[in-house]
Structure 1
Amino acid sequence: MAGQTAGLIPVPFLALSEQMMNPLKELGKYGQAPWLDNLGRGLVRSGELAKLVNEEGIKGVTSNPAIFEKSMGHSDEYNEEIRSLLDAGVVEIGEVFNNLAFTDIRSACDVLKTVYDETKGGDGFVSMECNPYLANDTEATLTEARHLWKTIDRKNVMIKVPATDAGIPAIRTLLSEGINVNVTLLFATEYYRKVAEAYIAGLEGLPKDYDLSTVSSVASFFISRIDSKIDGALDKLIANGGDKAKLEALKGKVAIANAKLAYRDYEKIFSGPRWEKLAKRGARPQRLLWASTGTKNKAYPDTLYVDTLVGDNTVNTMPPATVAAERDHGKPTANAIKEDLKGAEKILRDLAAAGINLDEITDTLLVEGVDLFAVAADQLYGAIAGKCDELTGKKLRMTWSLGVDKEAVDGWVKTWTKKGYIRSLWAQDKTIWTNSDEDKWLGWLDAPTTAKANLAQLEAFSAKVKAEGWTDVVLLGMGGSSLGAEVLREVLAKNGTPKFHILDSTSPDEVGTLNAKLDPAKTLFIVASKSGSTLEPNLFKDFFYDRVVSTVGKDKAGSHFVAITDPGSSLEKDAKAEGFAAIFEGKKNIGGRYSVLSNFGLVPAAAMGIDLKAFVHNALAAEAACGPLSPPPTNPGAQLGIALGTLARAGKNKLTIFASKSLESFGAWAEQLIAESTGKHGKGIIPVDGEPAGSAASYGQDRTFVVLKLKGEEARDALVTALKPLGHPVIEIEVDEPMQLARLYYVFEIATAVAGAALQINPFDQPDVEAAKVKARALMEAGGAKDTDKPVFQGGGVSVYADAANAKTLAGAKSLEDVLKAHFKRVGRNDYVALVAFIERNAEHAAELDAMRAALRDATGAAVCLGFGPRFLHSTGQAYKGGPATGVFLQVTAAPVHDVAVPGRGYSFGAVVAAQAAGDLGVLVERGRRAVRVHLDNVDQGLATLRGAIEAAVK
C-alpha cells in the first residue's frame, strides 16, 4: 500500500497504558531479549521503532530480504532516495539496494544505541544479512561480511551468516576479526555445537589484549519451520495407517523439544575452564536466538514459540504479529526452556520410533532455508528493479504472446531463477554452457561500465573529429566491427556531419561506388579489426591508404587514419609505424559480435557526434537491469534469451524480426549476433531480418517473431495482431526514444548468451566461419576462383552451377525456371531458404532480391533469408554451415561492372570476392547442404531475369 509501512505493529496496540501488565516486557525480567523481526524506512522515520524500544522493551532488530522486499518494493517510502541514486548514476540493482538498506540499518542502529550503551554492548543490535547467494562460498561470504561491517560502520550491527558447511569457517574468521555475527539458519543441535565452537575459537583467535566484551554473537535457532515439516511427515504416516493418537501427540512438540536440548548444550558449552578463561577477558556467551517464532499452524496458540522458550540470556526475534500477540496475551514464565528436559528427549525418541529421522529433516531444512533466502533475494532485487523502471519512466517494454509455448518458457524461467544461472553467468561460470572456454569471452558484460570510465577519451576524439573539419568519415570493418556502427548511424546519426560511411564488402562495385564519393584529402578512415589480420579491413586499408598517399603524401597520410584493434595486433604495429592519428584498444575477452558497446562501437559513435554520455547512460541502465542480482522474472535479457532458447528447442527456431522505421537497421546487427553465436553443432536459431511482409497465413509454424518498436511508430501492427491467434510466439519490445538503442544492444547480447546456454552450445566461438576463409585463401593462392565445371544451365546471361550431388536434383531441367523449380521443390517443412548474393549491396539490388524472398516464402511457407557477401560470412554464414541442416541455398554471383585492383597485392577485389563466394559454396557443399550457384553476366539485368524465373517456378 503506497504511503504505508508494511508490517508495522498497530498504533492502538502501542498506545495501551503502560500501567497494564506487559508480557512482552516481562520477557526481559526472565533474561530474554525480545527482538523485532521487521525493518523498513517508515518504521524508523515514523518513530514507531523508538516507541517499541523505549516503551515496549524491544532490544534488537533483525532484517532479511523478504522484509526489505515488502518495504522497498511495495511502498513509496524509498522513492525519493531511489530517484536520487538513479540521478547520480547509481543504477546497479545491488548497489541501489545497499544504499537503501545501509541507511535503514544505520538509522535502526542509532535508535537502539541507547540499549547498546545501557547494556554495555550486551544488546541493542540490528542484523544485516550477507548476500544469501553466497551461503555456500566461504571466501565470498567473508568478503561480503567485511564490506557490510566496514560500510555500515556501527558497533551495534550484526552481520548475518548462515550455518552452512561453508558458513561456519567464515563465522569463526569474522569473529576472530572482532566482527559481530548473527549465525542464521540453525535447525540441528549438531550444527549448533559446531557454531558455538566456531564462536569460542573465533574469540580465542583475537589478540590477548583485545577487549572481548566488544564482540557479540547470537546463534539463530529456527523453530516453526521444524514443526511444519515434521507435522507434514506425521500427517503422511497417519494417512498410511499409523497410530493416529501417538502421532498426533507429537505435533507442535518437536521444535520446542529440539530447542530445549540445544539450550542444554548451550549451558554445557559456555561453562568450564576453556570458557571461563575467555569470560575473564570480558567474553559474553553466544546467546541462542529463537527465530521463526510466528506459528504457521493456526491450530497452535500464536504465542506458543515465545512462552515455551523463555530462558536466561536468550533472544526471541518475533514478527510484528507475534510481538502484538505476546504483548496482548502472552504468558511467559521464568526458565520455561529448562522445563521437562526428559520429556523433550522422549518426544525425539518417539519421533524416531515413528520412523522420522530428525537429522534428515534438519539437513533438508538447511538446504531449503538457503534456497528460500535466495528466492527472497530474487524477489527483493526484482522489486527494486521494477521500482527503478517505474521511477525512470523509460524502459524496454516487453509484451509476450507465447501461445502453447508459454508453459515451457515459464518453466525455464523458474528453473533459471531457482538455480541462479544469471548469477552464474556473471560469475563467468562456463559450466552453464559447454565448460570449454566461454569464461574467456565475457568482457562485454561490463562494457558499459568500462565505457563510462573512458568517456573523456571518447569525447575528446569526438571534439577533434569535429574541429578538424573532415567532410567524410569511413569505417573499414567487417561483421561485428561494422554492423553495430551501421545501426548507430541509421538510428542516431543518419543526417550527421561529417557524413559517415561504412565499407564491409569486397565487391569491387561497392568499393568503387564509395570511392567515387570521397575526397581523400578531407576524409578520415577508421580501420576496425580485432585481430588485425582480418582480410577485408586490411584490403580496404591498403586501397584507401594508397589513395590518401597519392593525394596528400606519405608523411601526412597516417593522420587520416585511426585504428581500433586489440593490443599487440598486426594492425596496431602498422598503425604505429605509419603514424595513425589514434589507436583505440579493443579487449581480448570481447568477441567481435559482442563489441558494439566497447570501442568498436563507441569510437565510430564518437566520430558521428552522437551524445556519448546519454548513450552510455542507457547502456549502464541495461547493464543494471540485466545484472547478476536481477532475476529472470525482471531481467529483460534473461527473459528474452530463455524464451528464444526454449522456443528454438521446441522447433520454432526461425527468429523473424519486424521493426518500426527508426529501428529497421537493428535487425542486421541482431541477425549476425544470434546466428553466429547459436548456429553450430547442428543446433541454432536462424534469424530472418528484413523479410518482406506477407499474410499471416504465409508463415510456417517454425517461426518466432520479435517486434521492435520505437514508441509512436508502427511495426506491421495489423500483421502482428493477426499472427497471435494462429499460435505464433510473438515478443514485442518497445523503447521510448532512439537513444535507448544502447539498451537494445545490451539486452540482445545477454539474451544471446542465455539462449546459447539453453541450447547447450558455446555462444562465443565460430567454428565454421574459418572453413570458408581457408578455402578462399587456397583459391587465391592457386590464382583465384575459376569456373572449370560445365554449368547445369546457361542462357539469357545466366549460368547455373552445382556440384555432382546437387546437380542430380536438377537433371533434365531445360530452362532457368525448370532449374529453380527443381531446386526449390526440395524445401520441406521447417526448412528455410537463404539467398546469398556476392554483389554490390544497394537499394535496387535489395529490392529485386526481396521480391524473390516474398515469392519463395508465399509459395513454400519457409523463412527466406538474404545475405550480401562477403559480410554475411561473418554473420549468418556460421549458422548456415554449422547450424541445423535445414537450409536450401541459392548463391548469386555476378561479373563486376568495374573491377578494382588492390594496391600492392597483385590481385583485384573482383578476384577476392569470387574466391570468397567459391569458398563459401564449397563449404556448404561439403556440409551436405542443398546449394546451387547462379552467375549473372550483367548484374542488373540478371537479377530481373532471376526474379522472373523464381516467380514463375514457384507459382
Structure 2
Amino acid sequence: MGDLLAAPAEAAAGLAVYGARAVDASAPASTRRALVDAGVPGRLAAQDPTLWGPEAAAGAAVGLGWVYAHRRGRELLPQLAELTAELADLDHVVLAGMGGSSLAPEVIARTTGRPLTVLDTTDPGQVRAALADRLERTVVVVASKSGSTVETDSHRRAYWQAFLDAGMTEAEAGRHFVVVTDPGSPLEAVAAELGAISVLADPEVGGRYAALTAFGLVPCALAGVAVADLLDQADEFAASLDRTEDNPGLALGAALAAAATAGRDKVALVADGTGVEGLGDWVEQLLAESTGKDGLGLLPVVVESPDSPGVTGTEVLTVSYGGALAAGDVPTPGTATPDVAVNGPLGAQFLAWEYATAIAATVLGVDPFDQPNVAEAKEHTTAILAEGPPASAPSSVEGAIEVYPASGVAADLAGALRHLLDGMDDGGYLAVTAYLDRHADVAAAGLRPLLARASGRPVTFGWGPRYLHSTGQYHKGGPQLGSFLQVTGTVDVDLPVPGRPYTFGELQAAQAAGDRRALTGRRRPLLRLHLTDRSAGLAQLLDAVGSLRA
C-alpha cells in the first residue's frame, strides 16, 4: 500500500485517487486520452445528454441533475432545520426505502456515527424487530421516487397499523411519518391522506445518484448528521469536474473503463479502515445498476477486508476506499496492494463515484441512467402472489437444510454445492443471495469468503430483496456469466401486511421465487437451499461450505 500511496495522485478538494494512471497506462491505448480528446470531462460537467448515444439522450436529459444536486440540496437546509426542530422528541429514525433511497443514508449514518435504522427488507422477523423498537419515539421516513415500491409501501402500512394499535389517533400517527418522493408520485397523495410531512425530491436525479438530494439528506438530518458539511465537500469537489488534469473523477472513471475493456471487469471494493464506513455497498449498486445491461457491465464485489479471498485476480480491479489517508498510514502487512485507492471526505466520494461511473459508461457504450431489467423480478413476484407459490419438493433434506438443485444435479448438499462451483463459466462469478434477516441471520454473510476461497472465482453476496435494487440489474442484464446460490429460510412467526392479501413472509417467498424464475429463464445455474431452522441451518451450511476445497 505504501508504494501505491507514494506514487503521484490525482487530487482535488481533499479527495485523492492513487494508481489510476498506472491502470490506464497498462491498457493497449490510453482510455483517459481518448476521453479528453472527445471533450468528455467538460461535456459531462455541462450535463450534455448526448454522451451516451442518441437512444439514451432523452433519459439523460432528465437524469443528469445529480451533477450539481448538492447545490440544490442547499435549498432544503432551512426546511430540514425546521423539520428536525419540530420532531425533536422523535429520536428513533427509521428509514423505509430500497436501493439508492436507503444505501446512501446508511453510509452517511455509519460514517458519521449517527443512529439510523434502515428497513429495506420483507423478512417478517426483521420488520417485527423494527416495529418493537421505541415505537412511541419513532419517526418513519418513507422514501420512494416512484411512490409505488412494494417493500416501502408494506413498511408504511405496517407502521401505520402499529401506531394505531399503540393507541395513537390518526392525527398523532401521521406526525410520526415523513415522506420523501418525487413531485406527483402516488406517495405524495398518500402523505396528504396520512397528514404526514412531505419533502419533494429532485425529479431530475435517479435513485442511485440521489445521495446528496432529499433522499440522503432528510433521514440523515433527522438522525443528527450535519448534512451541510456533505454539501460543502461536494461543492468544493465539483470545481474539478470539467478539468482534463487534477480531476480525480476522470482518473477513476478512466481506470474503471480501461480495466474493463482489457478484461478486468470485476471490481473488488475494500475499505481501508480510515473512516468511511459501508461505502462499498453504495458503490456496488451504483456500478452494477448503471453499467450492467446490454450484456455488458462492471461487476462490483464488496469484500470484507484487504486480506479476504476474492480481493485480487486476473479479472479483478481492486479498489480501496477511505477517508483521510497519507502514504504509509494504513498498516496492511501481508495483504494485497490495491490497484487503485480512493480517499477523501464522504460528500466528495459520492460525487466522484457518480462522475466516474458515468465516465466509464461512455466507454462501455451503455446508458447509465436506465435499469431495463429491474422490473422483471417485480413482475414475476406480482404473478406469484396472485397465483400462489410454485410447487416444489427438495431433492434431499440434510439436517436443517432442504436442497433444491437444478434437474439432473447431485441431490445431496455437498454434491450440489460442488456442482455449482465446478460449473462456473470461464470469466464467470458466483452470486449468493440470502432472503433472510440481515441482522438476526448475519452469519450468512460468512458464505462469501468461504465460497471465494473454495471456488477461486469472484463471489458476491446480497441480502434479498435488498439486492434486487442493487446488483439485480447486473445479474439479469449484464454478461450472462453468473451462477447463483439462493438461501431462503422458514418463517416461524409471520406478520400481515395491513390492507394487502398477503403477509411479509409470503411477499418475501414470492420475491425469492420471482427472482429464481427470472434467473432460470436465462438458463443460469441456480441452487436453492432452504433452512428449516435458520440458526442451525446456517451453522450447518457454513460448515459444509468450509469443507469444500478449491
* Category of TM-score, reference length = shorter chain: over 0.9
Alignment gaps of 5+ in structure 2: 1-9
- Does residue 1:647 correspond to 2:243, yes or no? no
- SS of corresponding position for 2:218: helix
Which 5+ residue runs of structure 1 have no aligned equivalent?
A: 1-384, 725-729
**One-letter amino acid matched to 1:862:** R
* Matched position secondary structure for 2:499: coil
User: Distance in 2 between the 1:692 and 1:821 partners?
Assistant: 26
Counterpart check, 1:454 vs 2:57: no
Deviation at 1:585, TM superposition (A): 0.7
- Other structure's SS at 2:547 match: helix
Cα 1:440–1:876 change in 2 (3 A) is same
Which residue identity does 2:159 align to in structure 1?
A: F
2:212 — aligned with what? Answer: 597
Shift, 1:403, TM fit: 5.6
- Give 2:4's aligned residue: none
Q: Which has the higher contact order (CA 8 A, sep 6+)?
A: 2
Is this contact kept in 1: 2:321–2:342, CA < 8 A?
yes
Given that 2:119 and 2:127 are in contact with CA atoms closer than 8 Å, whether structure 1 keeps it comes out as yes
Partner-residue secondary structure (3-state), 1:915: helix
CA distance in 2, matches of 1:410, 1:623: 28
- Which residue of structure 1 lines up, in the alignment, with residue 117 of structure 2? 501
**Cα pair distance change 1:846/1:832, threshold 3 Å:** farther
Deviations 1:215-246 (A, max 9, x none): xxxxxxxxxxxxxxxxxxxxxxxxxxxxxxxx
Q: Which residue pairs with 1:296 in the alignment? A: none
SS, match of residue 732 in structure 1: strand
**What's 1:800 paired with?**
403
Q: Distance in 1 between matches of 2:445 and 2:403?
A: 17
Instruction: Tell me how far apart the structure 2 counterparts of residues 690 and 463 of structure 1 sit (CA, whole Å).
Output: 39
Q: Report the alpha carbon displacement of residue 517 of structure 1 after superposing the two structures with TM.
A: 1.5
Deviation at 1:897, TM superposition (A): 3.0
Aligned with 1:416: secondary structure?
A: helix
Q: Quote how far apart the aligned CAs of 1:502 are.
A: 1.1
**Does structure 1 retain, via aligned residues, the 8 Å contact 2:310–2:458?**
no
Taking the aligned partners of 1:695 and 1:453, their CA distance within structure 2 comes to: 43
User: 5 Å matches for 1:396-411?
Assistant: 396-400=15-19, 406-408=25-27, 411=30
Letter in 2 for 1:474: V
Partner Cα distance (2:125, 2:399) in 1: 22
Task: State, as a whole percentage, how many aligned pairs show the same letter.
Answer: 35
The residue that corresponds to 1:638 in the other structure is 250
1:777 is aligned to 382
Matched residue, 2:6: none
Q: Which of 399, 408, 429 is the matching residue for 2:48? A: 429
Q: Higher helix share goes to which structure?
A: 1
Deviation at 1:404, TM superposition (A): 6.8
Q: Name the counterpart of 1:478.
A: 98
Shift of 1:572: 0.3
Distance in 2, matches of 1:761 and 1:835, equals 26
**Quick one: distance in 1 between partners of 2:434 and 2:541?**
12
Note the C-alpha offset of 1:455.
Answer: 2.1
1:919, 1:697 → 2: CA distance?
29
Q: Which residue of 2 aligns with 1:708?
A: 321
Structure 1 residues 692 and 718, CA gap change in structure 2 (3 angstroms):
same
* Mapped partners of 1:741, 1:405: distance in 2: 25
The one-letter amino acid of 2:278's match is S
2: CA distance, partners of 1:409 / 1:516: 58
Partner deviation per Cα, 1:770-812 (whole Å, 9 max, x = no partner): 00000000001113x24x123233232211224xxx423x1xx
AA aligned to 1:421 is: V
CA 1:563–1:573 in structure 2 vs 1: closer, same or farther (change >3 Å)? Answer: same
1:620 matches 2:231: no
How much does 1:719 deviate?
5.0
What does residue 742 of structure 1 align with? 347
Q: Give the aligned partner of residue 513 of structure 1.
A: 129
Q: What is residue 536 of structure 1 aligned with on the other side?
A: 151
Alignment of 1:717-736 (within 5 A): 717-718=332-333, 722-723=336-337, 730-735=339-344
Match in the other structure for 2:276: 663
1:893 aligns to 2:483 (yes or no):
no
- Decide which of 610, 618, 622 is 2:225's aligned counterpart: 610
Q: Which amino acid counterpart does residue 483 of structure 2 have in structure 1?
A: V
Q: Which among 175, 183, 193 is matched to residue 577 of structure 1?
A: 193
Q: Is it true that 1:764 corresponds to 2:369 in the alignment?
A: yes
TM-score for both structures, normalised by structure 2: 0.92
Structure 1 residues 322-375: Cα deviation after superposition (integer angstroms, max 9, x where no partner): xxxxxxxxxxxxxxxxxxxxxxxxxxxxxxxxxxxxxxxxxxxxxxxxxxxxxx
Task: Give the root-mean-square deviation of aligned CA atoms.
Answer: 2.2
Q: Which residue of 1 aligns with 2:441?
A: 845
Partner letter of residue 841 of structure 1? R
> Match of 1:583, SS?
strand
For 1:604 and 1:772, locate their aligned partners in 2 and report how far apart those are by CA, in whole Å. 28
Q: How does 1:822-833 map to 2 (within 5 A)?
A: 822-833=419-430
Aligned to 1:907, the other structure's residue is in SS state coil
Does 2:471 match 1:855?
Answer: no
Q: Secondary structure at the match of 1:634?
A: coil
- Does residue 282 of structure 2 align to residue 675 of structure 1? no
Q: Is the 8 A contact 1:829 1:862 kept in 2?
A: no
Q: 1:409 to 1:688 in 2, by over 3 A?
A: farther
* Matching residue of 1:300: none
* Alignment partners' CA distance in 1, 2:477 and 2:383: 21
Q: Is the 8 A contact 2:91 2:223 kept in 1?
A: no
2:403/2:412 contact within 8 Å kept: no
Partner of residue 5, structure 2: none
Q: How do residues 36-115 of structure 1 correspond to structure 2 at under 5 angstroms?
A: none
| Equivalent in the alignment of 1:818 | 415
Residue 560 of structure 1: how far off its partner (Å): 1.0
Which residues in structure 2 correspond to 1:5-44 (within 5 Å)?
none
Would you say 1:927 and 2:530 are equivalent positions?
A: no
Deviation at 1:734, TM superposition (A): 2.0
1:441 corresponds to 2:70: no
> Deviation per CA, 1:632-676, whole angstroms, max 9, x where unpaired?
x32211211111122112111111011133323111111111111
CA distance in 2: counterparts of 1:888 and 1:527, whole angstroms: 34
TM-superposed deviation, 1:615: 1.9
The question of whether the paired residues in 2 share the 8 Å contact of 1:698 and 1:857 is answered with no
- Checking the alignment, whether the CA contact within 8 Å between 2:92 and 2:139 is kept in structure 1 is yes
SS at match of 1:807: coil
- Counterpart-to-counterpart distance in 2, 1:541 and 1:921: 27
C-alpha distance in structure 1 between counterparts of 2:534 and 2:279, whole Å? 28
Residue 747 of structure 1: how far off its partner (Å):
0.5
Q: Report SS of the residue matched to 2:494.
A: coil
List aligned pairs for 1:187-586, cutoff 5 A: 389=12, 395-400=14-19, 406-408=25-27, 411-436=30-55, 437-466=59-88, 469-492=89-112, 494=113, 496=114, 499-519=115-135, 521-551=136-166, 552-580=168-196, 582-586=197-201
Q: Is the 8 A contact 1:859 1:954 kept in 2?
A: yes
- Distance in structure 2 (CA, Å) of the matches to 1:614 and 1:698: 32
For the 8 Å contact 1:708–1:732, the answer to whether it is kept is yes
The answer to whether the 8 Å contact 1:855/1:954 transfers is no
Deviation digits for residues 881-912 of structure 1 (CA, Å, limit 9, x no counterpart): 11111211100001123211111212110000
Query: Structure 1 554/698 Cα, relative in aligned 2: closer, same or farther at 3 Å?
Result: closer
Q: Which moved more, 1:548-557 or 1:899-908?
A: 548-557
Write the distance in 2 (CA, Å) between the matches of 1:619 and 1:429.
20
Query: Can you list the C-alpha shifts for 1:843-901, whole angstroms capped at 9, x where unaligned?
Result: x6333432x32222223221111000001000001111111112111000011232111
Cα distance in 2 for partners of 1:409, 1:529 equals 43
Tell whether the 8 Å contact from 1:473 to 1:500 is kept in structure 2 after alignment.
yes
Task: Give the aligned partner of residue 371 of structure 1.
Answer: none
Aligned length: 534
